[in-house]
């Protein structure tokens, strides 16, 4: 499709961009299409990938899920809290490729948080040592030994179905999904990629390796069922990030 020649789609008229125009990055990937009146359309930003609870999963199920036992590389040592030295609780693993448009990364972002003395270990903070996040590669195919003491696992291993909603942001996507499906609010367990919706102010972590802002991978709700849910202060959200070039990951939550 040559630049300038319009075509119809999704109820609008589109045209291909010239090479110069394609260098527009809204933080969600390069925008390859513009509306004919050249208002940069929020085409890419309008697809919000929400995570829907899809029933109980096997504790060692591959791909994106909450709870269960993490899939890890050989020799992985279960993380311990820097504050209290207790074994952390595994919260979720997320397929990086599922979260990031255009990525073919085999990686899994894996999130742990100390719950041995809730509120005392700085478990909401990305640098306190009260939580840990990892990006594992294609060799993350084993289940590690779960420590015998401490709060290590959630009560349920939950399968996650990803649904793409044409919406402005995560909040609108949740509302639209609820309206369209009549589903339960608690069944929306998070969003993959896109833009984080902060409960408080923007706390995008900086990579410890390259000092650049990290890439948003996942926003997690506490869970579909309060009994087996993660503890983000009672109704808060967790946020997972990674730095692709450095292989680092970070986690924080806000309530
Ligand atoms: Zn601790
Ligand atoms: Zn980095």
CA distance 131 to 154: 15
In the chain, pLDDT over 90 holds for what percent of residues? 78
CA of 149 to the centre of ligand 2 (A): 34
SS3 of 226, please? helix
CA of 212 to the centre of ligand 2 (A): 6
CA of 9 to the centre of ligand 2 (A): 38
SS3 of 243, please? strand
Tell me which of 165 and 2 has the higher pLDDT. Answer: 165
Q: HSE, CB side, 13 Å, CA atoms: give it for residue 141.
A: 3
Q: The sheet that has 131-136: what strands, in order across it?
A: 131-136, 108-113, 89-95, 65-66, 158-166, 47-56, 188-192, 215-220, 237-243, 248-254
Q: Please report which confidence band the pLDDT of residue 117 belongs to, taking 50, 70 and 90 as the band edges.
A: very high
CA of 147 to the centre of ligand 1 (A): 14
Total residues belonging to the chain: 255
Token reading at 53:
């609870």
Tell me which of 12 and 5 has the higher pLDDT. Answer: 5
Ligand closest to Cα of 118 equals: 1
Ligand closest to Cα of 89 equals: 1
The strand pair at 12-16 and 237-243 is best described as unpaired
Ligand closest to Cα of 115 equals: 1
Q: Tell whether the model's pLDDT for residue 209 goes beyond 50.
A: yes
CA of 246 to the centre of ligand 1 (A): 26
CA of 123 to the centre of ligand 1 (A): 7
CA of 215 to the centre of ligand 2 (A): 10
Q: Tell whether the model's pLDDT for residue 34 goes beyond 80.
A: no
- How far is CA 130 from its chain centroid? 19
Q: Tell whether the model's pLDDT for residue 44 goes beyond 50.
A: no
For residue 33, the tally of other CB atoms under 10 A from its CB is 19
CA of 156 to the centre of ligand 2 (A): 33
Does the domain at 47-254 match CATH 1.10.260.40? Answer given as no
The contacts of residue 124 (CB under 8 Å, 6+ apart) are 130, 131, 232, 233, 252, 253, 254, 255
For residue 209, the tally of other CB atoms under 10 A from its CB is 12
Token reading at 131:
């939580």
List the alpha helices (DSSP H) in 6-106.
96-99
Question: Lowest-pLDDT range, 5-14, 72-81, 193-202, 238-247?
Answer: 5-14
Helices (runs of H) and strands (runs of E) counted in the chain: 2, 13
Over residues 6-15, mean pLDDT: 57
Ligand closest to Cα of 248 equals: 2
Q: Tell whether the model's pLDDT for residue 9 goes beyond 70.
A: no
CA distance 96 to 189: 17
**Can you give the pLDDT at residue 43?**
43
**Can you give the pLDDT at residue 96?**
96
CA of 131 to the centre of ligand 1 (A): 8
CA of 170 to the centre of ligand 1 (A): 31
CA of 161 to the centre of ligand 2 (A): 30
Token reading at 47:
């697809």
In the chain, pLDDT over 70 holds for what percent of residues? 82
Q: Please report which confidence band the pLDDT of residue 214 belongs to, taking 50, 70 and 90 as the band edges.
A: very high
Q: Please report which confidence band the pLDDT of residue 103 belongs to, taking 50, 70 and 90 as the band edges.
A: confident
Q: Please report which confidence band the pLDDT of residue 35 belongs to, taking 50, 70 and 90 as the band edges.
A: very low
CA of 210 to the centre of ligand 2 (A): 4
- How far is CA 97 from its chain centroid? 11
Q: Where in the chain is the domain with CATH 2.30.320.10?
A: 47-254
Token reading at 145:
């030994």
Q: Tell whether the model's pLDDT for residue 29 goes beyond 70.
A: no
**Can you give the pLDDT at residue 38?**
38
**Can you give the pLDDT at residue 171?**
96
Ligand closest to Cα of 212 equals: 2
CA of 93 to the centre of ligand 1 (A): 20
Containing 180, the helix (H) or strand (E) segment is: helix 170-181
Q: Tell whether the model's pLDDT for residue 116 goes beyond 60.
A: yes
Question: Lowest-pLDDT range, 11-25, 62-76, 93-107?
Answer: 11-25
Q: Tell whether the model's pLDDT for residue 95 goes beyond 70.
A: yes
**Can you give the pLDDT at residue 8?**
61
């Amino acid at each position: 499709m040559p630049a300038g020649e319009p075509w119809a789609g999704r109820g609008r008229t589109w045209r291909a961009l010239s090479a110069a125009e394609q260098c527009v990055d809204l933080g969600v990937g390069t925008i390859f299409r513009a509306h004919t009146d050249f208002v940069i359309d929020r085409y890419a930003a309008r697809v919000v990938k929400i995570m829907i609870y899809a029933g109980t999963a096997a504790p060692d199920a591959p791909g994106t899920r909450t709870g269960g036992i993490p899939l890890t590389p050989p020799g992985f040592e279960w993380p311990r809290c820097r504050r209290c030295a207790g074994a952390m609780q595994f919260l979720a693993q997320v397929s990086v490729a599922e979260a990031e448009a255009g990525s073919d990364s085999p990686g899994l972002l894996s999130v742990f948080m100390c719950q041995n003395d809730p509120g005392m270990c700085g478990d909401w903070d990305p640098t306190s040592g009260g939580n840990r996040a990892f990006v594992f590669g294609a060799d993350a195919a084993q289940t590690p030994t779960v420590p015998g003491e401490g709060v290590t696992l959630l009560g349920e291993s939950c399968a996650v179905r990803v649904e793409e909603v044409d919406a402005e942001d995560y909040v609108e996507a949740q509302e639209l999904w609820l309206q369209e499906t009549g589903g339960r609010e608690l069944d929306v367990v998070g969003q993959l990629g896109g833009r984080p919706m902060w409960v408080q102010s923007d706390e995008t972590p900086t990579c410890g390796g390259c000092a650049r802002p990290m890439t948003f991978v996942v926003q997690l709700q506490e869970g579909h069922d309060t009994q087996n849910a993660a503890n983000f202060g009672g109704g808060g959200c967790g946020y997972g990030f990674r730095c692709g070039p450095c292989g680092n990951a970070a986690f924080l939550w806000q309530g």
